Structure 1
Amino acid sequence: MFNKILVVCVGNICRSPTGERVLQNLLPNKEVASAGIAAESSRLLDKPADKTAIEIAAENGVNVDNHKAQQLTSELCARYDLILVMEKGHLEALTKISPEARGKAMLFGQWIGQKDIPDPYRQSREAFEYAYKLINESAQAWVKKL
């Protein structure tokens, strides 16, 4: 059974923190966290979620306040039963960081046609709204599977 879920994107300030909090709301009995493949190299460690991501989430009843970006590590991967990535390319990046975690990694958009959830970072509000819509649809679909 999947009781510990890790949501992964690139910087851990837009998509993965939003996905983390949406899943936490929908699955209150599960442990859900998030991390970024390149949080460290992007100098985003310990940074809060993106302002627009926080606003869009709040408008949808999801609180992303007090988030702090963290780097994906093999130790972090080992602690979780299921790892959900935002894009197909993230599976390869995850495998470089933690080869043994590849077997428990899937797309966040797996059940909505295996869609990638595009990165809205430094894009328009509409890009954030679209990403949120896909994250929410995907999270709802995961709830049915879990």
Structure 2
Amino acid sequence: MSGVGDSPVPLILVVCTGNLCRSPLAAALLERELDERGLPATVESAGTAAPLGASPDRKVLRAAGDLDLDLSAHRAGSITTDEIGRSSLILCMTGEHVAEVVALDPDAAKRTATLRAAALRASSRRGERPSFDEWAQMLAWTPATAGSDRSNDIYDPIGGPMRGYRQMADEVARLVSVLADAWPGDRR
């Protein structure tokens, strides 16, 4: 690992704003995809402005249920510098989240990306056999993926119609699957 955790099992941190919708869904999907492929990882989620202890949005619970996931036990948590420091890969829902993570810990830039950018980069490197740390760095942040660049953002459906939640969930599921398909390591 990258000296961030000194554990043979990477810690993946998924970040959004409130940790009530996108990041818990993406974390649960990634955990399931990796488990199905026999790839060890610990997956957690956090928010940059999370209402601590709050339950997920009811519409995301429905969207998750449509994907055979149960997020009812999830409670929102805020991102910490300790969590960032321990993480082997940090997947953010927006470029703004990437910028917030990197502002908290500049060293995290080498292992932080938006989910969409990470999936695109991973799919272009399928078949390569890097170490996990090398792979995380290939996926990582660049100035073009942070801040005001919205091209790699995952839409936040909070407060909108159910259709938006389903579209977000389907997109996140697709991107997580692409990422898991390219994940380094031996499969079962």
- Give the TM-score, by structure 1 length: 0.91
| Count of aligned residue pairs for this structure pair | 142
Q: Distance in 1 between matches of 2:56 and 2:109?
A: 26
8 Å Cα contact 1:8-1:86 kept in structure 2: yes
**Is 1:126 the counterpart of 2:137 in the alignment?**
no
- Give the TM-score, by structure 2 length: 0.71
83, 95, 102: which is aligned to 2:90? 83
**Is 1:34 the counterpart of 2:45 in the alignment?**
yes
Paired letter, 1:64: L
Q: Distance in 2 between matches of 1:87 and 1:106?
A: 9
8 Å Cα contact 1:86-1:116 kept in structure 2: yes
8 Å Cα contact 1:73-1:98 kept in structure 2: no
1:50-103 CA-partner distances (Å, limit 9, x unpaired)? 111011111111121200111111101111100000111211111222222121
**Is 1:142 the counterpart of 2:179 in the alignment?**
yes
**Is 1:71 the counterpart of 2:108 in the alignment?**
no
Instruction: Find the residue that maps to 1:90 and give its secondary structure.
Output: helix
Q: Distance in 2 between matches of 1:116 and 1:130?
A: 13
Query: Structure 2: any 5+ residue segments left out of the alignment?
Result: 2-8, 122-150, 184-188
Q: Within 5 A, what are the aligned runs for 1:40-79? A: 44-79=51-86
Could you list the structure 1 runs, at least 4 aligned residues long, displaced by more than 4 angstroms after superposition: none
Q: Distance in 1 between matches of 2:29 and 2:69?
A: 6
Q: Distance in 1 between matches of 2:77 and 2:170?
A: 24
User: Which entry has the higher C-alpha Rg, 1 or 2?
Assistant: 2
1:31 positional shift: 0.4
**Is 1:7 the counterpart of 2:14 in the alignment?**
yes
Identity fraction in percent: 27
Q: Distance in 2 between matches of 1:3 and 1:101?
A: 14
